[in-house]
Amino acid sequence: MKRLSVIGLDTAKEQFVSKLMDLGALEVTDEDPQQGDADELAMVPGENPAAAELDQKISDAEAAIEALKEHSPVKSPLFFTRRELKNTDFQSILQHKAEFTEEMNGILDLKEQIRKLNEQRNRKQSDLSSVTPWKAYTLPLNLTETRCTDFTLGIIPSAVSFEDMQTAAAEASETAVLEKVNEDKEFRYLLLITWKPDTAEVEEVLKQRGFTVAAFPEFDENAEAAMVRLHNEIAELTEEVQKVGKQIADRYGQKTDIENLHDQLIMERDQEVLKGRLLNTRRTFRLTGWIPEECMDAAKKMLDSCECYYLFEDPTEDDTVPVLLENNAFVTPFESVTEMYSLPDYKGIDPTRWFSIFYACFFGMMLSDAGYGVILTIATAVILHKFKLEGNLYKMIRMFMYCGISTIFWGAMFGGWFGNSVAAISSTFFHSDAAINPIWFDPIVDPTRLLIFSLGLGVVHIFLGMGLDASMKIRRGHFWDAVFDDFSWYMVIGGIIVMILMSGSSTGFHAGMYIMIAGFIILLLTGGRDKKGIGRVIGGFTAIYNITGFLSDILSYARLLALGLATGVIAQVVNTIGTLSGGGIKGAIIMLIVFVIGHLFNLAINALGAFVHTSRLQYIEFFGKFYEDGGEPFNPFRRDTKYVKLTD
Amino acid sequence: MTGNVWALIGAAVAALAGVGSAMGVGIAGQAAAGVVGEDPKKFGRTLILQALPGTQGIYGLIVTFLIFIRIGLLGGGGMKDLTMAQGLYVFACSLPICIVGIWSGIAQGKAAAAGIMLLGKREDQMGKGIIYAAMVETYAIFALLVSLLMLFNLGF
């Protein structure tokens, strides 16, 4: 990365910003405005009133696209991909920008209509539910009085007894009549008829006991008629909503137009926002940012064409430089694993190229069935062929393709082809003992051998991690730290391994033992070298105590065996169940169903397990030895379009 | 009681690891329903996290089936006659996966639920939530490994 500083004339600003976006390689950093007295020198950020307006339009376009998707029966594809379009073609399409805006507004109008209709319908719905309990009441709902009496409708909670209310009403006024119209789980629905002079008093008494007046001034029919009317109106409104929805669906063809418009607006908005971030004097602007070294030439050409003054600098010690990973074609897909953890520090090591081969290998050993490997490889290859995926998703899918190939390899080594399917089928249906033999050995027969192999791989993996740590320390001039912290452990663990391997010969065993002891002595003497006094002694012992950490790290690789066995055993179980019903046509059909469901389930659950635990081995056991993370991802100023991928 | 009875009890005990999975998946499912309530599009992703505590039950099932095969319950040949010691040996094989499976399943369910919450707030951080839950699973895997190694090296 290089730091780029640019000063240019205001007259070239528009052109500069647009070309910078086409270049798409500069991450702009914000600078504090410098204070100055003379306004020629004062650098203040410009303003961007246009950006807010564009934001509004963008969210309109998004709403219109959402509405189209929601109402159209067209299904969206499994993976979303951007349309590729030449920049020149895109510009000529956008000549019709005004039409697109019109189309967008048309759809938004329809959407607004639907909203209003739905609102009306909701209101009718709530009217309906408030009227329904009064169905048995046959007088018009808005009737409140006759010449001498008042009619009041009201509800009480069902916890209140109706008889008590009646007594209370009668006590308040001799003439009061309280009738029950209806009741449900929560409420009782009552009609109160009172002589006009007594009305206020009776209502007061009843209200104290929980009586709530329910008035229906806008209904001049009885409840039953009102319900029929509301039902009809709701049905009409529903139909209306559907009709307008259909109108939106008919306009599905306009989706592409609005998507183009959306992306154009995004680019305009981003340019406006950037203009606002630039520091200005009266006639010039200034900006700084980070640019990858490979893009320097292209940037120079572009800056020259805008007649800007510019300067490339190396980052200093204190800078937080953004991080962009760069790897070869095989390693790149595994970057998604690194990114999921956290990007490396700018001054650290990108671990991807180191762990990629281990990742594929571990995944293959955990899934460990060639049949599943074939399915995984073909499925991912088809996806990659059919969809032009981008970014992280592309990396992931491609990574799983490599993992699938590795699974085929390990599956063949261990003799797993959908478990023991060949042997199971041939013995059930053809009474032969044909089977695919493992190239290496069958872990179910000899698990201890695979356990030792797994732990051995773990040692290699961990040693590589420590080696990276040592190389980083040496590069920074701390050679002795590498010897004390990393090479000493090489001696200890290497010595132990020699002791185990050479346990037959006493010279070999003793050689291993001396190497191990030498390693321990280095650790004991140097473990507390940063500390003072008694801390030095304790530090040495703490360093040795870390042996437990190494042991648990190495044992952790036993999961390679365990998960591999799990896949194999479940596959075997599926095959056993599938062939339980014996040979013949009926047996074949049952077997086929059990095979498809069982093996798909096993593949899904174990592929997830393999992915998760392979990642874990990288994150905990491998990264733990050396990785310095916390880098900020490189985020250049570019065409951040959502639906269209512009090519030059 | 003969050895065969003890071996069958062992097979049953191994399958009990499913208790932990059931509880774990349940705990994670409750959290998932809450998150999906706010954003239904996250259903597929929450499902992955919810499935993580389900593996203990599968590990238990693996050991159960292997015991079946070992003692000849499956395959039509009839059960072998086991001595008391052999039967107890088979029973012992089932204990690690049963006990660790139950507790780790519950604990993993809680970790997965927290991961689902994380997914609800920061969609891009889902991978880390998965890893947290997977940390718990390690111990279930070790228990499975111990059970399997015991069973494979029975010597009868």
**pLDDT for res B23:** 96
pLDDT per position as a tens digit, A132-172: 888 888 888 888 888 888 888 899 998 888 888 888 888 88
User: How far is the C-alpha of B4 from the C-alpha of B91, rounded, in Å?
Assistant: 10
The H or E element that residue A397 is part of is helix A391-414
User: How far is the C-alpha of A18 from the C-alpha of A285, rounded, in Å?
Assistant: 15
User: Best mutation site among A340, A450, A601 for testing chain B: the one with the most B CBs within 10 Å?
Assistant: A340
pLDDT per position as a tens digit, A494-522: 999 888 888 888 888 888 999 999 999 99
If contacts are CB pairs under 8 Å, which of residues 586-645 in chain A contact chain B?
605, 608-609, 612-613, 615-616, 619-620
Q: Phi/psi of residue A30, each to 5°? A: -85, 145
Q: Is the pLDDT of residue A50 over 50?
A: yes
Q: Does A395 touch chain B (CB under 8 A)?
A: no
User: How far is the C-alpha of A305 from the C-alpha of A212, rounded, in Å?
Assistant: 80
Q: Are residues B55 and A444, on separate chains, in Cβ contact within 8 Å?
A: no
In a shared domain, residues A450 and A380: yes
Residues 6+ apart with CB under 8 A from A138: A222, A223, A224
Q: State percent of chain A over pLDDT 70.
A: 97
**pLDDT for res B112:** 95
User: How far is the C-alpha of A476 from the C-alpha of A436, rounded, in Å?
Assistant: 53
- How far CA A406 is from CA of A370, A460, A619, B32, in Å, comes to 9, 18, 20, 33
Among the partner-chain residues A559, A569, A612, the one whose CB lies closest to the CB of B65 is A569
User: How far is the C-alpha of A206 from the C-alpha of A178, rounded, in Å?
Assistant: 10
User: What residues of B are in the A interface, CB distance below 8 Å?
Assistant: 48, 51-52, 54-55, 58-59, 61-62, 65-66, 69, 74-75, 127-128, 130-131, 134-135, 137-138, 141-142, 144-145, 148-149, 152-153
Residues 6+ apart with CB under 8 A from A43: A33, A34, A36, A279, A280, A281, A286
Taken as a whole, chain A contains a residue count of 648
Q: Are residues B66 and A613, on separate chains, in Cβ contact within 8 Å?
A: no
**Which residue in chain A is spatially nearest to B63 when comparing CA positions?**
A569
What mean pLDDT do residues A585-602 have?
93
Range of the domain at A492: 480-545
Contacts of B134 in chain A (CB under 8 A): 612-613, 615-616
What mean pLDDT do residues A422-451 have?
87
- Please check whether residue A272 is in contact with residue A118, taking contact to mean a CB–CB distance below 8 angstroms: no
Given a cut of 70, the residues of chain B with pLDDT beneath it are 75-76, 156
> Domain for residue A645, yes or no?
no
> How does the average pLDDT of chain A come out, rounded?
88
In a shared domain, residues A462 and A505: no
- How far CA A310 is from CA of A7, A287, A290, A292, in Å, comes to 6, 10, 13, 15
Count CB-CB contacts under 10 A for residue A181: 18
pLDDT per position as a tens digit, A245-284: 999 999 888 888 999 999 999 999 998 888 888 877 778 8
User: How far is the C-alpha of A493 from the C-alpha of A510, rounded, in Å?
Assistant: 14
**pLDDT for res A418:** 94
In a shared domain, residues A158 and A211: yes
- The three-class DSSP label of residue A311 is strand
In a shared domain, residues A490 and A611: no
For residues B76 and A297, the model is more confident at A297
User: How far is the C-alpha of A390 from the C-alpha of A382, rounded, in Å?
Assistant: 15
- Please check whether residue A419 is in contact with residue A598, taking contact to mean a CB–CB distance below 8 angstroms: no
Q: Which of A170, A171, A153 is nearest to A222 (CA)?
A: A153
**Which residue in chain B is spatially nearest to A616 when comparing CA positions?**
B131
Q: Are residues B134 and A613, on separate chains, in Cβ contact within 8 Å?
A: yes
Tokens, residue A277: 């971030």
**pLDDT for res A38:** 47
**Which residue in chain B is spatially nearest to A567 when comparing CA positions?**
B62
Q: Are residues A558 and B145, on separate chains, in Cβ contact within 8 Å?
A: yes
Q: Are residues B58 and A566, on separate chains, in Cβ contact within 8 Å?
A: yes
User: How far is the C-alpha of A64 from the C-alpha of A640, rounded, in Å?
Assistant: 20
Q: Does A448 touch chain B (CB under 8 A)?
A: yes
Q: What is the dihedral of CA A449, A375, A595, B142, to 10 degrees?
A: 30
CATH number for the domain including A210?
A: 3.30.70.100
User: Best mutation site among A612, A613, A615, A629 for testing chain B: the one with the most B CBs within 10 Å?
Assistant: A612
Contacts of A341 in chain B (CB under 8 A): 127-128
- Please check whether residue A492 is in contact with residue A512, taking contact to mean a CB–CB distance below 8 angstroms: no
User: How far is the C-alpha of B19 from the C-alpha of A614, rounded, in Å?
Assistant: 26
In a shared domain, residues A153 and A207: yes
pLDDT per position as a tens digit, A189-241: 989 898 888 888 888 888 888 888 888 888 888 888 899 999 999 999 999 99
User: Best mutation site among B68, B137, B151 for testing chain A: the one with the most A CBs within 10 Å?
Assistant: B137
Q: Is the pLDDT of residue A40 over 60?
A: no
Among the residue ranges A35-44, A169-178, A547-556, the one predicted with the least confidence is A35-44
User: How far is the C-alpha of A72 from the C-alpha of B97, rounded, in Å?
Assistant: 51
**pLDDT for res A42:** 53
- The three-class DSSP label of residue A142 is coil
Tokens, residue A127: 């009217």
Count CB-CB contacts under 10 A for residue B39: 13
Q: Which of A196, A215, A234 is the last residue of a domain?
A: A215
Tokens, residue A648: 């030059």
Q: Are residues A573 and B65, on separate chains, in Cβ contact within 8 Å?
A: yes
Q: Which of A119, A116, A105 is nearest to A60 (CA)?
A: A105
In a shared domain, residues A152 and A192: yes
Among the residue ranges A59-73, A456-470, A527-541, B21-35, the one predicted with the least confidence is A527-541
User: How far is the C-alpha of B93 from the C-alpha of B153, rounded, in Å?
Assistant: 10
**Which residue in chain A is spatially nearest to B143 when comparing CA positions?**
A562
Among the residue ranges A530-539, A599-608, B30-39, the one predicted with the least confidence is A530-539
pLDDT per position as a tens digit, A65-111: 999 988 888 888 888 888 888 988 998 988 888 999 999 999 999 99
Find the helix packing angle between A421-429 and A584-616, rounded to 10°: 170
Give strand pairing partners of A313. Answer: A3
Among the partner-chain residues B54, B58, B134, the one whose CB lies closest to the CB of A616 is B134
Q: Does A447 touch chain B (CB under 8 A)?
A: yes
> Domain for residue A242, yes or no?
no
Domain boundaries, chain B: 3-152
Contacts of B48 in chain A (CB under 8 A): 608
For chain A, the domain total comes to: 3
In a shared domain, residues A496 and A576: no
**Which residue in chain A is spatially nearest to B49 when comparing CA positions?**
A608
Among the partner-chain residues A340, A555, A566, the one whose CB lies closest to the CB of B59 is A566
Q: Are residues A561 and B152, on separate chains, in Cβ contact within 8 Å?
A: no
In a shared domain, residues A507 and A595: no
In a shared domain, residues A380 and A493: no
Q: Is the pLDDT of residue A45 over 70?
A: no
For chain B, where are the E strands, in sequence order?
A: none
Q: List the Cα angle A131/A132/A133 in 5-degree steps.
A: 95
Q: Which of A185, A215, A245 is the last residue of a domain?
A: A215
Tokens, residue A233: 């109106």
Q: Are residues B52 and A451, on separate chains, in Cβ contact within 8 Å?
A: no
Q: Are residues A608 and B59, on separate chains, in Cβ contact within 8 Å?
A: no
Class of domain B3-152: mainly alpha
Report residue A36 CA to chain centroid gap: 46
Residue owning tokens 């006094």: A533
- Please check whether residue A469 is in contact with residue A489, taking contact to mean a CB–CB distance below 8 angstroms: no
In a shared domain, residues A471 and A354: yes
- How far CA A117 is from CA of A70, A72, A113, A129, in Å, comes to 17, 19, 6, 18
Residues 6+ apart with CB under 8 A from B148: A447, A562, A565, B62, B63, B66
β-pairing verdict for A644-647 and A83-86: parallel
The alpha carbon of residue A606 is apart from the nearest alpha carbon of chain B, in Å, by 9
Looking at residue A550, its amino acid is: F
> Domain for residue A522, yes or no?
yes
Q: Are residues B74 and A576, on separate chains, in Cβ contact within 8 Å?
A: yes
The alpha carbon of residue A425 is apart from the nearest alpha carbon of chain B, in Å, by 14
Task: Provide the ipTM.
Answer: 0.78
What mean pLDDT do residues A607-630 have?
90
